[in-house]
């Protein structure tokens, strides 16, 4: 066994019973769901790895915070507690709560982007790209080339390609770049980290051309832990100091707080010192989200978020959290199962193309593996490949994705080593009969974001 499982740095005080259906029952459920895992009822899932977003287990301190939440419409004490905590952690003057990450994108991007503008990012998350486009602009991804090779193990596979960034700025014209966005960790590349050096170099390029620099901060703490483990010179720096340094290079951040702050709902918008921009964001928050001191959240949500901001920095917790993924990855290594390596912070992205070389991209290997995982062990995961990518908006033709991944995203503080072993065992069992697994065809699809709603059917010879 390559790696030891790091025991949970907590004990369990409240439990939620989960149902285990038989294989026959699962086969019926997934057929009824038209082979779309989003159509399954949560209660029919044994281990739910659809996302690590909003699926976290809160601590006793956070649950106590639920009771203490101040529900005043304006000026709630929970709001001030949250703002002070976020100012302390990120070092920014202005903090605006919103209901989730995409709400921060909606509030901010409309102010900085419009027709003819571009956003350049190491990789845009789907909703980030959508809000760039809704604001009239275009999104360009600029990740380092190593990210495209699942087998290539490099420490910071989520980095921006800084040279390419500069050439893109020259090509499109600095005045037309609305924003440069650094996504930490880089979710779309497999939860891969970004180094301090890369954030600093990106910020230098932005400064040189007078372009605003934003961090998409959903997994800021996991990213800081990778820096501590992997970047020379940071071995003895605290997680909090690493985060401060990373954020010191940017002008603003948008954050889905449903990830590293270990809550079920919430988001933040941070602005370092630009008062005019903050004023404009406040106005848009009131229109879209609610008054500035609650931003679409309940007082109890603000309270839990303030507590979670600190809990997410705990090194014992982060070591266990990342260790869980590394343990799972080591079991896959042993079995010869390929994934985006080294494993990222919030999930394992299994290389379904390599598991099912006989299934072409337009028969959706990533989705086929997700369906097999449900049938095999009641595990719900999702396709990050051609099925998710969809059709060319102009020609209607199926696009071919760069990767065919199946993402097993692990919620925080929810599953134990035994559950992780169920995941590994299920993948190993599927690999043993991989050549028998068939592809899928789409029998109905909506025009946009089809993977949430489409119906599929297995391809029978
Ligand atoms: N940015 C990143 C990097 C994300 O991973 C997400 C959400 C968002 C923004 C949007 O935040 O959901 O709070 O509105 N990612 C989830 C996922 C949904 O499953 O990866 P949100």
Is 302 in the same domain as 351? no
Domain end (from 263, 282, 311): 311
**Which CATH number is 432's domain given?**
3.90.1150.10
At 148, is the secondary structure helix, strand, or coil? helix
29 counts as catalytic:
no
Is 71 in the same domain as 177? yes
Residue 1 lies in a domain: no
Cα torsion angle, 92, 95, 100, 105, sign: negative
| Backbone dihedral angles phi then psi of residue 385, each to the nearest 5 degrees | -165, -150
Is 291 in the same domain as 410? no
218 counts as catalytic:
yes
Six-digit token string for 363: 């028969």
Please state the length of the chain. 461
The predicted pLDDT at position 203 comes to: 98
- Provide mean pLDDT across the span 364-374: 98
213 counts as catalytic:
no
Is 142 in the same domain as 262? yes
Which are the contacts of 367, defined by CB distance < 8 A and separation ≥ 6?
Answer: 35, 383, 385, 387, 406, 440, 456
Residue 393 has pLDDT above 80, yes or no: no
Is 340 in the same domain as 254? no
Query: Residue with structure tokens 């982060």?
Result: 318
Is 237 in the same domain as 273? yes
Which are the contacts of 229, defined by CB distance < 8 A and separation ≥ 6?
Answer: 322
Pocket of ligand 1 (CB under 6 A): 51, 53, 100-102, 125, 127-128, 183, 187, 216, 218, 256, 258, 267, 409
Contact 111, 133 (CB under 8 A): no
Closest atom, ligand 1, to C-alpha of 186: 3
User: What is the DSSP pairing of strand 267-271 with strand 94-98?
Assistant: antiparallel
Contact 98, 333 (CB under 8 A): no
* Domain hosting residue 241, numbered range: 60-311
- C-alpha–C-alpha distance, residues 244 and 255, integer Å: 15
pTM (2 d.p.): 0.96
Is 197 in the same domain as 162? yes
Residue 2 lies in a domain: no
Q: 64, 73, 93, 175: which one is catalytic?
A: 73
Per-residue pLDDT tens over the stretch 28-79: 999 999 999 999 999 999 999 999 999 999 999 999 999 999 999 999 999 9
Q: What's the structural domain count of the chain?
A: 2
Per-residue pLDDT tens over the stretch 200-217: 999 999 999 999 999 999
Contact 101, 258 (CB under 8 A): yes
Averaged pLDDT of the chain = 96
Residue 394 has pLDDT above 90, yes or no: no
The predicted pLDDT at position 11 comes to: 96
Going by pLDDT thresholds of 50, 70 and 90, the confidence category of residue 277 is very high
DSSP secondary structure of 98-143 = ESSHHHHHHHHHHHH--TT-EEEES---HHHHHHHHHTT-EEEE-B
Domain end (from 276, 311, 346): 311
Is 102 in the same domain as 215? yes
- Beta-carbon neighbour count of residue 121 at 10 Å? 25
- Provide mean pLDDT across the span 451-460: 95
Residue 1 has pLDDT above 70, yes or no: no
CA distances from 357 to 333, 340, 373, 403 (A): 18, 16, 17, 13
DSSP state of 100: S
- Provide mean pLDDT across the span 158-171: 98
216 counts as catalytic:
yes
Query: Residue with structure tokens 């101040």?
Result: 70
Going by pLDDT thresholds of 50, 70 and 90, the confidence category of residue 410 is very high
Going by pLDDT thresholds of 50, 70 and 90, the confidence category of residue 389 is confident
Residue 29 lies in a domain: yes
SS3 sequence of 330-358: HHHHHHCCCECCCCCCCEEEEEHHHHCCC
Residue 10 lies in a domain: no
Helix H or strand E segment including 444: strand 440-444
The predicted pLDDT at position 308 comes to: 98
Residue 252 has pLDDT above 70, yes or no: yes
Nearest CA to ligand 1 atom 21: 101
Is 107 in the same domain as 210? yes
The predicted pLDDT at position 448 comes to: 77
Query: Residue with structure tokens 């832990």?
Result: 225
Is 266 in the same domain as 331? no
**Which CATH number is 217's domain given?**
3.40.640.10
Q: Is the peptide bond before 342 cis (omega within 30 degrees of 0)?
A: yes
Is 344 in the same domain as 357? yes
Domain end (from 311, 335, 356): 311
Is 246 in the same domain as 141? yes
Contact 319, 7 (CB under 8 A): no
Contact 201, 251 (CB under 8 A): no
CA 101 to centroid of ligand 1, rounded, Å: 6
């Amino acid at each position: 066994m390559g790696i030891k499982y790091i025991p949970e740095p907590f004990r369990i005080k409240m439990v939620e019973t989960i149902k285990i259906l038989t294989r026959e029952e699962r086969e019926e459920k997934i057929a009824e769901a038209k082979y779309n895992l989003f159509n399954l009822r949560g209660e029919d899932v044994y281990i739910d790895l659809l996302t690590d977003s909003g699926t976290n287990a809160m601590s006793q301190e956070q649950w106590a915070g639920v009771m203490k939440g101040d529900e005043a419409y304006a000026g709630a004490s929970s709001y001030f507690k949250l703002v002070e905590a976020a100012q302390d952690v990120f070092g920014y003057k202005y903090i605006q709560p919103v209901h989730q990450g995409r709400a921060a994108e909606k509030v901010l991007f409309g102010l900085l982007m419009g027709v003819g503008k571009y956003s350049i990012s190491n990789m845009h998350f789907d909703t980030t790209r959508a809000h760039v486009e809704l604001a009239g602009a275009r999104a360009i991804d600029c990740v380092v080339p190593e990210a495209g090779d699942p087998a290539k193990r490099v420490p910071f596979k989520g980095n921006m390609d800084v040279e390419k960034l500069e050439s893109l700025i020259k090509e499109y014209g600095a005045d037309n770049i609305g924003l440069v966005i650094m996504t930490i960790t880089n979710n779309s590349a497999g939860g891969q980290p970004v180094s301090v050096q890369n954030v600093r170099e990106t910020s230098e390029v932005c400064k040189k051309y007078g372009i605003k620099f934003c961090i998409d901060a959903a997994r800021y703490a996991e990213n800081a832990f990778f820096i501590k483990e992997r970047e020379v010179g940071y071995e003895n720096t605290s997680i909090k100091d690493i985060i401060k340094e990373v954020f010191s290079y940017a002008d603003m951040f948008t954050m889905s707080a449903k990830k590293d702050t270990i809550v079920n709902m919430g988001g933040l918008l941070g602005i370092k010192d630009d008062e005019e921009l903050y004023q404009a964001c406040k106005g848009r928050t009131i229109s879209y989200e609610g008054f500035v001191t609650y931003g679409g959240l309940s007082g109890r949500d603000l309270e839990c978020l303030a507590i979670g901001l600190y809990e997410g920095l705990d090194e014992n917790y982060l070591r266990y959290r990342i260790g869980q993924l590394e343990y799972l990855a080591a079991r896959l290594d042993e079995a010869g199962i390929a994934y985006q390596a080294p494993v990222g912070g919030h999930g394992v992205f299994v290389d379904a193309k390599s598991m099912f070389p006989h299934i072409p991209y337009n028969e959706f290997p990533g989705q086929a593996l997700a369906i097999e995982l449900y049938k095999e062990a009641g595990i719900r995961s999702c396709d990050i490949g051609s099925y998710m990518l969809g059709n060319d908006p102009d020609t209607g033709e199926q696009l071919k994705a760069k990767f065919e991944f199946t993402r097993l995203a692990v919620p925080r503080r929810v599953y134990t080593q035994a559950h992780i072993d169920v995941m590994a065992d299920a993948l190993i069992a599927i690999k043993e009969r991989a050549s028998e697994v068939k592809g899928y065809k789409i029998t109905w699809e909506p025009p946009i974001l089809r993977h949430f709603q489409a119906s599929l059917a297995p391809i029978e010879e």
